[in-house]
Amino acid sequence: MKYHIWTEGCQMNVADSQRVGSALEHLGYTHTAKIESADVIVMNTCVVRQSAEDKAYGRLSSLQPLKQKNPALVINLMGCLVGVRGHDKLRKRFPYVDVFSPPSDPGPLVSYLTQGEIRSLEDAETTRRFFAMDEELILPVAERGKLVSAHVPIVYGCSHACTYCIIPYRRGIERSRPVGDIVSEIRALAAQGVKEVTLLGQIVDRYGTDVPDGPNLAGLLRLVCEVDGIERVRFLTSHPNYFGNELIDAIASLPKVMPHIELPIQAGDDTVLENMKRGYTQQAYRDIVAQIRSKIPDCSIATDIIVGFPGETDEQFMQTYQVLADLKLDVAHLARYSMREGTVATRRMSDDVTDTEKMRRFRLLEDLQEQIVTEINARYQGQTVPVLFEEKVKGRWRGRTPTNKLVFVETTENLKGLTVPVQITWTGPWSMQANLLQQIAPIQL
Ligand code: SAH
């Protein structure tokens, strides 16, 4: 019995797919990369923009002939296309789908395959007895002992109401995971060879606000840093309104927490920010960046930006351009505004910036950001930096600096999972090359 998983979208989906894979393996299935030979196909979907949703529909249609050929095939549609609010329309449109699962929940599939004996993997006791588990349900076999860096969801859902965003509708209200679950999961990952964890949430810096007696993100980071075997800790995505001094101080004082922060601004104009209901001004964002830089001098900062939000004028767009030009951030994830069904922006505003204009604004920011990051990265030339290596790609070892820059090293040595000081010999906007300094000895943190 074989399973195949197709994953689209964010890191949360990647983490969810790993858990589904692992759950299926506990049921006796083995992974196959060939979709045609699978007995169970999981499609883990994303709908954050129309293009992602279209991809999911395309993939789904391509499954119909497989199901016709083999009626015993189990097709599981999972993730944000399904969402948490029912799926009657999808069931009508795709009658050949057997199981529908909301994001982050392998429960419906496991329940289907076990004929209801296990309803939800949240029911830890039954799950443990059923599977006679001796290890946690996290990584599929193929990744155990091989994965260097893993993602760990710590906050599910989102209760913010950014007017453009469909995620709260599809992932449900914000729920922080209990601290004990998170820490024991990270211990299990460490035992499976993982060296770096990235804690995930839509607004990760709100971690714990819905749990009266639990730690906040700063407190959680302290606990995660104590897990033996974990050498690096990252987290994303942060929201400027919750990114306070306590968190900045925690990052500054915990050596395992990497100096890299994902802090979306979305727009650099106050009226657009207000229309997006982001809840801060562009000046407030600049102040937080200044605060981060004063306490964590070499911190790299990434941001997200949407161009062509309803009503965004050229002048307003140029404010965004100016903020990026001034702040010189390390990464800008750029997106063209895409209408999403059910959101406030779709219901109350008109998508009035043309596609051509959205593209023009996108390219302007893309060019600006390429110049900025080329300059930032050039400062690494000749420097010695500790890089955690993950895998060998086309003969070169690939790893990341603490600031999350991609580094390639050509060597015959096995660097997997090692943090090694390297000397940067070439820099470009999207990656760097480096040489090993001497014989490899893992450095002590
Ligand atoms: N929760 C995070 C990330 C959400 S999704 C946050 O608060 O920022 C990732 C990115 O997709 C967002 O940051 C945003 O830049 C982009 N995005 C979300 N909805 C979008 C839409 N309707 N059109 C275009 N981009 C969108």
Please give the pLDDT value at position 140.
86
Place of tokens 């996108």: 362
pLDDT band at 143 (very low <50, low <70, confident <90, very high): confident
pTM of the predicted model, to two decimals? 0.94
Please give the pLDDT value at position 145.
84
- In the reported structure, the alpha carbon of residue 46 is separated from the centroid of ligand 1 by a whole-number distance in angstroms of 12
Please give the pLDDT value at position 155.
97
Report the pLDDT averaged over residues 337-346.
97
Report the pLDDT averaged over residues 416-436.
97
Q: Decide if pLDDT at 135 tops 70.
A: no
Query: pLDDT digit string (tens) for 45-67?
Result: 999 999 999 999 999 999 999 99
- In the reported structure, the alpha carbon of residue 48 is separated from the centroid of ligand 1 by a whole-number distance in angstroms of 7
Q: Cβ contacts of residue 276 below 8 Å, gap of 6+?
A: 162, 163, 164, 266, 267, 306, 309, 345
- Domain ranges across the chain: 1-130, 145-252, 259-378, 384-436
Q: Ligand 1, atom 13: nearest CA belongs to which residue?
A: 304
Q: Cβ contacts of residue 372 below 8 Å, gap of 6+?
A: 324, 325, 328, 329
Please give the pLDDT value at position 294.
98
Q: Decide if pLDDT at 136 tops 80.
A: no
Ligand 1 pocket at CB < 6 A: 48-49, 164-165, 167, 202-203, 237, 239, 264, 266, 304, 306, 335, 337-338, 340
Contact 396, 408 (CB under 8 A): yes
- In the reported structure, the alpha carbon of residue 246 is separated from the centroid of ligand 1 by a whole-number distance in angstroms of 26
Query: pLDDT digit string (tens) for 251-279?
Result: 999 999 999 999 999 999 999 999 999 99
Q: Kindly report the backbone phi and psi dihedral angles of residue 210, in degrees, each rounded to the nearest multiple of 5, phi listed first.
A: -100, 5
Ligand 1 atom with the smallest distance to the CA of 158 is 1
Nearest to 327 by CA among 372, 370, 390, 392: 372
Bond preceding residue 30 cis, omega within 30 of 0: no
Q: Cβ contacts of residue 342 below 8 Å, gap of 6+?
A: 166, 169
Place of tokens 């009226």: 271
- In the reported structure, the alpha carbon of residue 117 is separated from the centroid of ligand 1 by a whole-number distance in angstroms of 38
- Interatomic CA distance for residues 26 and 421, integer angstroms: 39
Segment among 198-212, 243-257, 263-277, 426-440 with least mean pLDDT: 426-440
**Does the domain made of 145-252 have the CATH classification 3.30.750.210?**
yes
Q: Decide if pLDDT at 213 tops 80.
A: yes
Please give the pLDDT value at position 355.
98
Q: Write down the CATH number for the domain with range 384-436.
A: 2.40.50.140
Three-class DSSP labels, the chain: CEEEEEECCCHHHHHHHHHHHHHHHHCCCEECCCHHHCCEEEEEECCCCHHHHHHHHHHHHHHHHHHHHCCCCEEEEEECCCCCCCCHHHHHHCCCCCEEECCCCCHHHHHHHCCCCCCCCCCHHHHHHHHCCCCCCCCCHHHCCCCCEEEEECEECCCCCCCCCCHHHHHCCCEECCHHHHHHHHHHHHHCCCCEEEEECCCHHHCCCCCCCCCCHHHHHHHHHCCCCCCEEEEECCCHHHCCHHHHHHHHHCCCECCEEECCCECCCHHHHHHHCCCCCHHHHHHHHHHHHHHCCCCEEEEEEEECCCCCCHHHHHHHHHHHHHHCCCEEEEEECCCCCCCHHHHHCCCCCCHHHHHHHHHHHHHHHHHHHHHHHHCCCCCEEEEEEEEEECCEEEEECCCCCEEEEECCCCCCCCEEEEEEEEECCCCEEEEECCCCCCCCC
- Interatomic CA distance for residues 220 and 281, integer angstroms: 28
Domains 145-252 and 259-378 share a fold: yes
> If you average pLDDT over every residue of the chain, what do you get?
94
- Interatomic CA distance for residues 284 and 292, integer angstroms: 12
Please give the pLDDT value at position 127.
64
Contact 147, 130 (CB under 8 A): no
**Which tokens go with 142?**
């193929």
Please give the pLDDT value at position 325.
98
Question: For a substitution probing ligand 1, which of 8, 11, 48 has the most ligand atoms within 8 Å of its CB?
Answer: 48
- Interatomic CA distance for residues 8 and 53, integer angstroms: 9
Q: Would you tell me which CATH number, out of the four given (3.30.230.10, 3.40.50.12160, 3.10.620.30, 3.40.50.800), belongs to the domain 1-130?
A: 3.40.50.12160
Q: Cβ contacts of residue 6 below 8 Å, gap of 6+?
A: 35, 41, 42, 43, 44, 59
Question: Would you state the CATH architecture of domain 259-378?
Answer: 2-Layer Sandwich (3.30)
Rg of the chain taking only CA atoms, in angstroms:
22
Quote the distance between the C-alpha of residue 331 and its chain's center.
15
- Interatomic CA distance for residues 139 and 277, integer angstroms: 38
Question: For a substitution probing ligand 1, which of 165, 236, 261 has the most ligand atoms within 8 Å of its CB?
Answer: 165
Please give the pLDDT value at position 141.
84
**Which tokens go with 367?**
């060019």
Q: Decide if pLDDT at 444 tops 90.
A: no
Contact 155, 204 (CB under 8 A): yes
Q: Ligand 1, atom 5: nearest CA belongs to which residue?
A: 48
Nearest to 100 by CA among 123, 84, 118: 84
Q: Kindly report the backbone phi and psi dihedral angles of residue 362, in degrees, each rounded to the nearest multiple of 5, phi listed first.
A: -55, -50
Ligand 1 atom with the smallest distance to the CA of 339 is 22
- Interatomic CA distance for residues 44 and 111, integer angstroms: 17
Ligand 1 atom with the smallest distance to the CA of 333 is 15
